[in-house]
Amino acid sequence: MPLGLFIFLAALAVLSALGVILQRNPVHCLMALVLTLLDIAVLFIGLGAVTVGFLQAIVYVGAIMILFLFVIWLLNLRVEQRPSGHPALKLFGAIGAAALFAELCTFVIKAPSTAGLSTVPAGFGSIASIAQALFTNYLIAFEVTSLLLLVAVIGAVALARRPANIAGKQSRSL
Amino acid sequence: MIVPPSWFMALGAVLFAIGVAGVVLRRNVIVMLMSIELMLNAVNLTFIAVSRALGSVDGQVIVLFVITLAAAEAAIGLAIIIASFRNRETVNADEMNLMRW
Amino acid sequence: MTIDLVIAAVRAVVMLLLVLNLSAVLLWFERKGSALIQDRVGANRAALLGIGARLGLPNLGIVNTLLADPIKMFTKEDFVPDGADRFLHDLAPFLALFPVLVTFAVVPIGDTVTIAGHSFDLVAANLNDAVLYVLASIGIGVYGIALGGWASNNRWALLGGIRASAQMISYEIAMGLAIVAVIATYGTLSLQTMVREQGGVWFGWLPRWGVMLQPVAFLMLLTAGMAESKRVPFDLPESESELVAGYYTEYSGGKQAVFMLTDFAEVTLVAMLITTFFFGGWQVPWLYRDGFHLPGGVMVAIPYWAVVVLGVIAFWVKTIFFCCLQILIRWTMPRFRYDQLMSFGWKLLVPIGLLNLMATAIVVVLAGS
Amino acid sequence: MTASFPALGLILLLPALGVLFNLFLGRRCGRAAVNFVGPAVIFGAFAVGCWAFATLLTMPRGAALAVTLWPWIEAGSFHVDFALRMDALSAVMTLIVSGVGAFIHLYSVGYMAHDEDYARFFTYMNLFMFSMLVLVLADNLLMMFVGWEGVGLCSYLLISFWYSNAEFAYNGRKAFVVNRIGDAGFILGILTLVYALGSHGVWTLTFTGMQAHREILGTTWGPLGCSVATVAGLLLFLGATGKSAQIPLYVWLPDAMVGPTPVSALIHAATMVTAGVYMVARLHFLFIMSPPTMNLIATIAALTAFFAATIALVQPDIKRVLAYSTISQIGYMFMGVGVGAFASGIFHVMTHAFFKALLFLCAGSVMHALDGEQDMNRMGGLWRKLPITYATMLIAALAISALPGFSGYFSKDLILESVYDSGHVGLWLLGVITAGLTSFYIFRLIFMTFHGTSHVDPQRAAHIHESPPVMTIPLLVLALFATFGGWINVPGHFLWGDAFVRFLAPVTGNFKPVMEASPTMLSMLAVAATVIGIAFAWLLYIRQPQLPGRMAETATGLYRTLLRKYYIDELYNTLVSRPLFWIAGPALARGVDQQGIDGLVDGSAMTVENSGEAVRRVETGNVQHYVLVYLFGAVAIAAYYLYLVMR
């Protein structure tokens, strides 16, 4: 990936991420997050993980974020009025996050510089290569994941379902 | 010039730290969930960078699993938020303290 | 280097212009087509200095649709209601249009050509993972509608937005299943490769079009595609009788024009995808690189550039045909009820898609072994 | 030589199956099934035993049948098989046990006819038979110990069979505890042998194996000064005193009489209590190597015989009289083995099994007629009403008092002769006196029960009835054996002389007399003592029934002492039980447990509670606080790894 492109994407990612946590309006936060995710998807593609990048866009942006949007609408969230959180909490939180950031960066710097991008095999990151890994080495994990999703679906339905008495009124809404 | 993977990792670190800050600083539970997604993606970015550096596809597979996990987590988390909102009429973390001593 | 950039730019721009103009043409088709169907005259007032009339030609309303309407729309006041989220309200239409337009980048409209020693396919961007790219951009397309509805600070708009996003997400799954079956059939993610796969014939006369292999997927993609474009019978997000105008109730002027443009662009996109997946894209029956090989064994030699041109023409003919088909359906069908819509998507299309996918997988494996 | 004879397994299998059936299906299948299966399996075992015995007879002297069922313990070079071995000795015991047991089971069918818990009863009985046969047929000491404990358990279960009665349950516990003391000795004895043999590299507990290496047993044992044989012998004999009710551990047996009478007959007269004798005979090679042990056994045995006989003189309870008589008879057996005449001891085991079982069954029949009455002062003049019982019991009495011609005569006479010949003249004298006492108390029992004027309270007297055939047939059969069972070993050389002893000789070795005396002369004396005893009984209880009472008044002290069994129970209570109870109660329970341990436990719980009370404030319920802590944890961990990287 060319340097300029990377710098642009990185800056965009950081800015939009900051937008996620700094804005007051949940929908704006969500939009910022969507932007971040797309940006990261592009970074994936730039790193040769083409399939994963597109999947990130499809699943994350196309589905999960919409879910967030729905919930925000369902709860009819507006701009937060009161300043959020306890000041001490904020202070320590900021300190902690900063410390963690410093440490992580140190790691990255200390890490054995794999600058020499190892020459990747042909079709690296293609859907075929991923499927190869997924259905051989990670087969069990794959199956278990399907189970996880099933459980999540059932759990979500069970949790968010309204009590039967008022459920009748709301069907056919929207 | 070609950007070394470590830069991507550094970017991942930044995003992760931002996500952490979001989880700790924001009261709105939904925004906290968003921040968690942010952290997950930061980690994903690192994974992808490493997989590129090592030329192995495993990192990408793991990212796939993480995405699946994120989907499940979002579904359940949001469902919980809805359920609790029905009872408490709030999405502020510091007002959801039923588990208090 | 620069020439490559130039070529790439040219390819992109050409494709974009083609699509936009086709959308305009489709607008005209729709006006007059609906008039035809409903036994009305339709747009027939505006004329350019009455030239047509003087020449004794019937007024086909071309001026109305292609000239007057755009001018009217883009000169109208751009009204933003109180309490609306101004930024998102402005952003939404373009957020809706953008993903659709970029999708066209991967649709191949012709065979390989060579200009000044540079040979390239007649497609804006020849991706290997084109199908994923299509799905991704369609997925992103939801936001424009949804945000447009939300940002208008209007109940009908919000309901329309919610309906739209729910509907699109639901039918994306059906669409995805159909497309996955196609992928399994051709074993590739590149649209250009798929089209090449569809060249040639079976039994010496039957064109190897995908619809022969995946009829179910074809029907599913047609249905889901129409649902994606939110047109009758899937137009609940903008159903006048229920929601005024749905998600663009509060839109007027240029931004509404953009929404409408999005509609027609989506129609075009669906048509192009169907063409590419199931009807051989730019393939002309019995036409090979060196000319026609008619079933009778007759061989008509044709220069290669002519072959390419024929292919491009064939592609647009097929595309326009499917656009017209959608318009026809739009003016023929009544509207679904919302629960019907959902149960149709989830309880009919998705299971069928899964079964189809399973069958495809089995066949592919057996054929492969 | 040893021949493989897998059918031996059947002898154990059949009672085991009986146990399973009665335990799980008994209730469901009903009384009839249980009444059939319970005795049937034992008769089956008896039949198989006879078959094996017959096979054994066809083989040359000293042969044995054996079968290894499965390897049991494999610990390094230490190896124990679950194996059965039937030589002359165990063959005789098997026949006694299964034969007598079979008839007693049959008798039980009638005796327990009115009890609701018949299934449980036969479960226990069969289990007892199984354990006893394991004990008898074991080919190694460890297996024998299993049977040993098994019979102990069954004895406990059956003594307190009517557990709803607190006293019965208590007596059961008493028997169990006393037996534990003896069994502790038994275990220590086994361990001693294992240790001693093992230290010489001989890792075996099979009797043949130990006999083969008996020279090791002779060696003096490191820890103590004396020989291995002495140490092990003493310990094992302690076990024997427990199981076979010898001084000092006999106290449980009289109280064990609260169990159902068939139990008393089978377990506490015929079979289990003679296990000690069998064990000593089985390990004769070990005991012979330690003269002090042998002398101790003989002495204790003689004292027990005399001592128990004296107590039996005055007991009013019919079963207690028999119980003490059992103790004293076992004393005779131990006398025999104690002086090295093992065959004679086993011989007496056999005859005693016949007549004592018969006595108990007759007593049971009497009680059955008087619905449960045990006090002889409330009986009398029953002989017309219970003719069969009377006849058979009379035969048994004659047998036990060793009148010539009856089985008891041959065995007791053989024992006394051997005792005399072995040079223990004092013990012999004691034996003779005891013979007199025996005949006295047994005929006292007969007279008080069947003769004289009836003291039965009227409403009972009305419906006194002879027992049903299912009970009387065993009586008759046993009477037959009690009469002629002894003839198998007629003394001297006329007829088939000493067949029994000669049959056992290869196993138990021949008895070598040190001083010869004319057998006839000795038996004359013994018979004389017997006759005198009978005469006294007749005088006191037929001729002048008022005499005993007067004697009791004149010699109050002596009478009370005997009546209260020399206050032995009281003695044990004060010497052993009380201190133990004190240690357990005030000292340990209240002192250590309630103050110390409970204090610790409660204290810890209190600490936890208080600390929890203090710490719970941390649970603010606000997710973000937890996240914050979590975050700092992550920071710390990352810092640690950072430190590792930096280094």
Q: Which domain holds residue D599?
A: 569-622
Mean pLDDT of D423-435: 90
| Residue A84 pLDDT grade (very low, low, confident, very high; cuts 50, 70, 90) | low
Mean pLDDT of A113-127: 67
Residues 114-143 (A) with a CB less than 8 A from some CB of C:
126-127
* Residue D575 and residue D511 share a domain: no
Supply φ then ψ for residue D78, to 5 degrees: -80, 125
* DSSP code per residue over D193-262: HHHHHHHTT----BHHHHHHTHHHHHSBPSSSSSBHHHHHHHHHHHHHHHHTT-TTSTTHHHHGGGS-HH
Closest CA in chain A for residue C173:
A63
Topology, domain B5-88: Helix Hairpins (1.10.287)
Whether A80 sits inside 8 A of B27 (CB atoms) is: yes
In a domain, C223, yes or no: yes
Of C85, C129, C143, the CB nearest to A51: C129
D554-597 pLDDT, tens per residue? Answer: 888 887 887 778 888 888 888 888 888 888 877 787 878 888 88
Supply φ then ψ for residue C56, to 5 degrees: 80, 20
**Which long-range contacts link A11-20 to residues 24+ away (Cβ below 8 Å)?**
A12/A39, A13/A39, A13/A40, A13/A43, A13/B11, A13/B15, A14/B11, A14/B14, A14/B15, A14/B18, A17/B14, A17/B15, A17/B18, A17/B19, A17/B38, A18/B18, A20/B18, A20/B22, A20/B31, A20/B34, A20/B35, A20/B38
pLDDT the model gives residue A173 = 45
D28-49 pLDDT, tens per residue? Answer: 888 889 999 999 999 999 999 9
Q: Could you tell me which of D96, D90, D47 has the C-alpha nearest to residue D65?
A: D90
pLDDT the model gives residue A166 = 53
| Residue D397 pLDDT grade (very low, low, confident, very high; cuts 50, 70, 90) | very high
- CA pair distance D601, C64, nearest whole angstrom: 95
C286-304 pLDDT, tens per residue? Answer: 888 777 888 777 888 888 8
In a domain, D538, yes or no: yes
- CA pair distance D548, D555, nearest whole angstrom: 10
Residues of A in contact with D625 (CB under 8 A): 89
Q: If you ran DSSP here, which 8-state letter would residue D266 be given?
A: I
In a domain, C102, yes or no: yes
pLDDT the model gives residue D493 = 64
- CA pair distance D331, D345, nearest whole angstrom: 10
Cis ω on the peptide bond leading into residue D248 (within 30° of 0)?
Answer: yes
Give this prediction's pTM: 0.57
Mean pLDDT of A11-16: 91
pLDDT the model gives residue D21 = 93
In a domain, C64, yes or no: no
List beta partners, residue D2.
D64
C187-237 pLDDT, tens per residue? Answer: 888 888 888 888 878 877 788 888 888 889 999 999 998 888 887 788 877
Which comes out higher in pLDDT, residue D198 or D620?
A: D198
* Residue D584 and residue D438 share a domain: no
pLDDT the model gives residue D278 = 93
In a domain, C210, yes or no: yes
Q: Are the C-beta atoms of D273 and D243 separated by less than 8 Å? A: yes
Question: Which residues lie below 8 Å from residue A136, measured CB to CB, with a gap of 6+?
Answer: none
Whether A73 sits inside 8 A of C339 (CB atoms) is: no
Crossing angle between the packed helical segments C253-278 and C304-330, to the nearest 10 degrees: 120
Residues of D in contact with A106 (CB under 8 A): 642
- CA pair distance D338, D287, nearest whole angstrom: 9
D88-141 pLDDT, tens per residue? Answer: 999 999 999 999 999 999 999 988 888 888 899 999 999 999 999 999 999 999
Question: Which residues lie below 8 Å from residue D44, measured CB to CB, with a gap of 6+?
Answer: D10, D14
Coil, strand or helix at C121 = strand
Residue type, B47: F
- CA pair distance A25, B26, nearest whole angstrom: 12
Whether B94 sits inside 8 A of D624 (CB atoms) is: yes
**Sign (positive/negative) of CA torsion D239, D245, D249, D253?**
positive
Residues of A in contact with B20 (CB under 8 A): 93, 96-97, 100
Mean pLDDT of C244-250: 77
End-of-domain residue from the set D516, D534, D563: D563
Q: If you ran DSSP here, which 8-state letter would residue D485 be given?
A: G
Question: Which residues lie below 8 Å from residue D553, measured CB to CB, with a gap of 6+?
Answer: none
Residues of A in contact with C140 (CB under 8 A): 38, 57, 61-62
The residue to which tokens 């050409």 are assigned: C14
Q: Are the C-beta atoms of D449 and D379 separated by less than 8 Å? A: yes
- Is any Cβ of chain D less than 8 angstroms from the Cβ of B2? no
List beta partners, residue C287.
C292
Residues 59-98 (B) with a CB less than 8 A from some CB of A:
59-61, 63-65, 67-76, 78-83, 85-86, 91-92, 94
Mean pLDDT of D187-208: 88
Mean pLDDT of D622-637: 86
Here the tokens at position D431 are 């034996």
Q: Please report, in angstroms and rounded to a whole number, the separation of the first and last CA atoms in chain C.
A: 44
pLDDT at A134 exceeding the cut of 80 = yes
pLDDT the model gives residue A172 = 45
In a domain, C7, yes or no: no
D214-261 pLDDT, tens per residue? Answer: 888 888 876 677 888 888 999 999 999 999 988 888 888 888 888 888
Q: For residue C117, how many other CB atoms are within 10 A of its CB?
A: 6
Q: Could you tell me which of D457, C190, D183, B44 has the C-alpha nearest to residue A53?
A: B44
pLDDT the model gives residue C67 = 76
Q: Could you tell me which of C94, C282, D226 has the C-alpha nearest to residue D235?
A: D226
Instruction: Count CA atoms closer than 13 A to D221's CA, side-chain side.
Output: 21
Of D617, D621, D627, the CB nearest to B99: D621
Whether B98 sits inside 8 A of D621 (CB atoms) is: yes
- CA pair distance B21, C2, nearest whole angstrom: 45
Q: Please report, in angstroms and rounded to a whole number, the separation of the first and last CA atoms in chain D.
A: 79
> In whole angstroms, how large is the CA radius of gyration of chain D?
30
Question: What length is written for chain A?
Answer: 174
* Residue D491 and residue D603 share a domain: no
Residue type, B8: F
- Is any Cβ of chain B less than 8 angstroms from the Cβ of A27? no
Q: Are the C-beta atoms of C210 and C280 separated by less than 8 Å? A: yes
C33-75 pLDDT, tens per residue? Answer: 888 888 887 777 766 766 766 776 766 777 777 777 778 888 8
**Sign (positive/negative) of CA torsion C169, C170, C175, C178?**
positive
Pairing of strands C206-207, D2-4: unpaired
In a domain, C270, yes or no: yes
**Domain residue limits, chain B:** 5-88
* Residue D120 and residue D144 share a domain: yes
pLDDT at A139 exceeding the cut of 60 = yes
Q: If you ran DSSP here, which 8-state letter would residue D269 be given?
A: I
- CA pair distance B38, B18, nearest whole angstrom: 8
- CA pair distance C84, C150, nearest whole angstrom: 8
In a domain, C59, yes or no: no
Whether A51 sits inside 8 A of C133 (CB atoms) is: no
Neighbours of chain C (3+ CB pairs under 8 A): A
Closest CA in chain B for residue A38:
B41
Mean pLDDT of C158-184: 87
* Residue D587 and residue D518 share a domain: no
Interface confidence, given as ipTM, is 0.75
Q: Are the C-beta atoms of C265 and C172 separated by less than 8 Å? A: no
Query: Among the listed ranges A78-92, D416-430, D606-620, D623-637, which one has the minimum average pLDDT value?
Result: A78-92
How many residue contacts between A and B have a Cβ separation below 8 Å?
Answer: 252
In a domain, C61, yes or no: no
Of A93, A99, A106, the CB nearest to D628: A93
Mean pLDDT of D417-435: 89
Percent of chain D with pLDDT over 90: 34
Q: Are the C-beta atoms of D4 and D59 separated by less than 8 Å? A: no
* Residue D517 and residue D601 share a domain: no
Mean pLDDT of D160-180: 90
* Residue D319 and residue D256 share a domain: yes
Which comes out higher in pLDDT, residue A55 or C125?
A: A55
- CA pair distance D407, D400, nearest whole angstrom: 8
Measured in angstroms, the CA of B95 and the nearest CA of chain A are apart by 11
Measured in angstroms, the CA of A115 and the nearest CA of chain C are apart by 27
* DSSP code per residue over C322-342: HHHHHHHHHTT--PPPHHHHH
Neighbours of chain A (3+ CB pairs under 8 A): B, C, D
pLDDT at C369 exceeding the cut of 70 = no
Whether D625 sits inside 8 A of A89 (CB atoms) is: yes
Of A6, A14, A119, the CB nearest to B3: A6
Most B CBs within 10 Å: which of D627, D630, D642, as the mutation test of the B interface?
D627
D328-361 b/e (C-beta count within 10 Å ≥ 16 → b): bbbbbbbbbbbbbbbbbbbbbbbbbbbbbbbbbb
What mean pLDDT is reported for chain C?
83
Measured in angstroms, the CA of A95 and the nearest CA of chain C are apart by 34
Whether B34 sits inside 8 A of A93 (CB atoms) is: no
The total number of structural domains that make up chain C: 1
pLDDT at D478 exceeding the cut of 60 = yes
Is the pair A, D in contact (3+ CB pairs within 8 Å)?
Answer: yes
In a domain, D477, yes or no: yes
The total number of structural domains that make up chain D: 2
Whether D638 sits inside 8 A of A97 (CB atoms) is: no
Most confident of A77-86, C208-217, D50-59, D489-498: D50-59
Query: Among the listed ranges A154-163, D178-187, D414-423, which one has the minimum average pLDDT value?
Result: A154-163
Of D624, D625, D642, the CB nearest to A107: D642
Residues of B in contact with D621 (CB under 8 A): 96-101
- CA pair distance C261, C277, nearest whole angstrom: 24
Question: What length is written for chain D?
Answer: 647
- CA pair distance D119, D34, nearest whole angstrom: 6
pLDDT the model gives residue A174 = 45
Of A93, A104, A110, the CB nearest to D645: A110
- CA pair distance B22, D631, nearest whole angstrom: 12
* Residue D533 and residue D610 share a domain: no
Of A14, A26, A138, the CB nearest to B14: A14
End-of-domain residue from the set D520, D543, D563: D563
Q: Which domain holds residue C115?
A: 78-368
Residue type, C129: D
D1-18 pLDDT, tens per residue? Answer: 788 888 899 999 999 999
Whether B28 sits inside 8 A of A84 (CB atoms) is: yes
Whether D623 sits inside 8 A of B100 (CB atoms) is: no
